[in-house]
Chain A
Amino acid sequence: MKTKVKRKQYVLGYMMAAPFYLIFLFVYLIPILETVWNGFTDKKIFETPNFIGLTNYIRILQDTYFIKSIQNTLFYVVFNLFGVMVIGLSLALLVNSKMVKTGVFRVAYFIPYIASMVSISIIWIWMFDPTKGFVNYLLGMVGVEGKRWLEDPKWALPAIIVMGIWKGVGYNMLVNLAGLQGVPDMYYEAATVDGANRWQLFWNITFPLITPTTFFLFITGMINSFNMFEQVNIMTGGGPMNATTTIVHQIYTRAFLKYQMGYASAESVLLMLFIGFFIFLSFRFGKQGNDLGM
């Protein structure tokens, strides 16, 4: 009797998890394996693929576009991540102030995160417009000569980074804020009684206690920055002179404009390895205090 009830529960358990799990396998897990396999083939879109071993990888090593895209992506990851994390934490500290009401301001800082990347990119193309844009107007007011931001190989990527930071700090602020609010007030009170100044409070109490949050934001932020694509495709199309092409932009171009699926899969594998490598490094060197308890 008991086992029958139990068996019935087994079946129901599998049945209720199955729709989710099958789709999950179909759209996440199997594709990863397929990407790895396709990377060893010359798969196009209609022709039957041939196994070609490491040929794709050897060609990628000589692909100047791809090498350029790695440089651009790393540049973007470093500056974007640094920007959103430092500014995001600063904003969180600011709006965590108990002296003033901050609700409306929190919403204001978070708004750019809600809007789609397409609309944000388009608004910023208009902002960066050389003659009618607000950015050059503002610079003109303080006597700095404006640039042709998105058409200048030297300035296009920094311009996109500025926009990325502007869009992303709100998220970092909110997550940091939750971390800050998890720090018990009594720690600060005790330290203030002992005569600690504000900088010491931050450095010795706040910062160590929110390290898990910082680490989480670092990892997810890194993954997202490595996958940067949309703003580039909309704002510059990878130009001028490939100054803004990123790894995912190269994958997209190869796979969906030139239909070199095998080649693009090999590039995807390299992207996965890059991300995996940097995550590994972060856990290796960020784990000293056993931050996440993982």
Chain B
Amino acid sequence: MIKNIKLTKKAGLYLVMLILALIFTFPFVIMFFTAFKSQAELQQPYFTLMPKSFTPENFIGAMATGNWPRYFYNSAFITVITVILSLFLNSMAAYSFSRLEFPGRNALFMFSLIALMIPEQVIMIPVFLRLKTIPFLGGNNWLGIGGTGLLNSYAGLVVPFVAHPFGVFLCRQSFMTFPKSLDEAAILDGCSRFRIFWNMYLPLSKPVLVTLGLLKAVTTWNQYTWPLILTNSDGMRTVQLALSNFSTEFTTNWGYVMAATTLIILPVMILFLCLQKYYVSGIVASGIKG
């Protein structure tokens, strides 16, 4: 009798969770199936879920509209460079803030944390103007006038995102757990501080670095507002930007739009599903810091 009640309860729980899972995943299912529908089928003035027959023509057609290989290359390049640079800069600063003694160390670190409260939307105007008037670059003279500075450049898309205090915070947390005697022993053996950081601290913090890199990769790939503001040439477009333009230019051709959306979501999904554990621990850490 008790066993029966437990069983019904279990089944009920599964049913509720299943319905919820449908709510959260069904829009992706619709996206996926729409991408495989034929043009004729997309003209029908009512909703259907499954395509009558799966055709790849939307994927081929969508990728041939505009310079999609270039957009994918741009996004991938920016993502990789941002991840590498931010991991390097943030972990190096974290080592300095956790293991090296210098005046004002803790104050400087604490002060940098205020950036966690600053939304990028509030500072996008001055950052844009600064990058535009950077001297000597992009046709600018020494006063930063005459050219376009770092607008429409990879550097302009990367630099504002490589120094986020959250990365320093997380690395510092990890570095602090290592015993100080580790450094002392290495120094006695004639190892330089930088080599201690590079050859010991970094390899030992692999999980944290993977977590940080993954979070950074997903946000960079998904970024929309900053590339929208900073770039206007077709050659500098990222996939997100191209997708948003695509949907306004081709409002009637939902097959193409959904095919492009599928291709853009895919890399992030694969990355997330493979490295789920790391991603989740990063999200949880972001919650604990409060």
A residues near B (Cβ < 8 Å) are 6, 9-10, 12-17, 19-21, 23-24, 26-32, 34-35, 38, 45, 91, 94-95, 97, 99-100, 102, 104-105, 107-109, 111-112, 114-127, 131-134, 136-137, 166, 170-171, 174-175, 178-179, 212-213, 215-217, 219-220, 223-224, 226-227, 229-230, 233-234, 248, 251-252, 255-256, 261, 264-265, 268, 271-272, 275, 279, 292
Residue from the list A95, A125, A175, A265 in contact with B284, Cβ < 8 A: A175
Residue from the list B117, B257, B283, B287 in contact with A213, Cβ < 8 A: B287
Q: What CA separation (Å) do A15 and B34 show in the bound complex?
A: 54
Contact with A along B94-108 (1 / 0, CB 8 A): 011100111101001
Minimal beta-carbon separation of B272 from chain A (angstroms): 5
Q: What CA separation (Å) do A119 and B241 show in the bound complex?
A: 10
Residue from the list A30, A104, A136 in contact with B126, Cβ < 8 A: A30
7 CB < 8 A contacts A-B: A16-B95, A21-B93, A38-B125, A45-B132, A219-B290, A223-B117, A227-B122
Minimal beta-carbon separation of A117 from chain B (angstroms): 6
Whether B121 contacts A229 by the Cβ 8 Å rule is: yes
Interface size of B by CB at 8 A reads 96
Whether B272 contacts A105 by the Cβ 8 Å rule is: no
A112's nearest neighbour on chain B, judged by CB, is B24
B280's nearest neighbour on chain A, judged by CB, is A174
Tell me if B254 counts as interface (CB < 8 A to partner A). yes
B residues near A114, Cβ cutoff 8 Å: 218, 268-269, 272, 279
Which of A9, A20, A114: most chain B CB closer than 10 A? A20
Tell me if B81 counts as interface (CB < 8 A to partner A). no
Known: A111-B24, A213-B287. A268 touches B163 (CB 8 A): no
Residue from the list B20, B89, B125 in contact with A268, Cβ < 8 A: B125
A residues near B132, Cβ cutoff 8 Å: 45
Q: Chain B: interface secondary structure?
A: helix
Whether A123 contacts B28 by the Cβ 8 Å rule is: yes
B110-140 residues with Cβ-Cβ distance < 8 A to A are 112, 114-115, 117-130, 132
A residues near B240, Cβ cutoff 8 Å: 116, 118-119
Q: What CA separation (Å) do A95 and B115 show in the bound complex?
A: 33
Tell me if B258 counts as interface (CB < 8 A to partner A). yes
Minimal beta-carbon separation of B210 from chain A (angstroms): 16
Minimal beta-carbon separation of B118 from chain A (angstroms): 6
